[in-house]
Amino acid sequence: MLRPSMYQIISKNESYYSLVIGVAKRARDIAQQRYDEKEKEKKAAEKRGASPQDHKARLDDKMLKALMMEENPVKTAVDEFAAGKFRIVEHTEDDAD
């Protein structure tokens, strides 16, 4: 179970569904950012020109994904919502005008 609880994050007029969707979207963004950073580092290392011995030491994609997810993106997203870095904005039909 993640802490803080949903009751501590949402206000009276927000729905649980909106929080879950918001956290899922933010977690997806966090995971993508981490993946992009690792890929950028990997390409920079390749560009520098690794020796044949270094080629053996390179991480394969599965290991790379495991390393970049050291902290769960969902936990990071929940913490960001709890800290007020992000908030839920629900759109109504009136907003579409």
Tens of pLDDT, residue by residue over 4-63, are: 777 778 777 778 888 889 999 999 999 999 889 888 888 888 887 755 445 544 556 665
Per-residue pLDDT, 56:
47
Closest CA to 9 of 87, 90, 91, 94: 87
Q: Would you list the domain boundaries of the chain? A: 19-87
Please give the Cα distance from 60 to 41 (Å, whole number). Answer: 13
Q: What is the pTM of this model?
A: 0.66
What torsion, rounded to 10 degrees, do the Cα atoms 13, 18, 20, 23 define?
A: -100
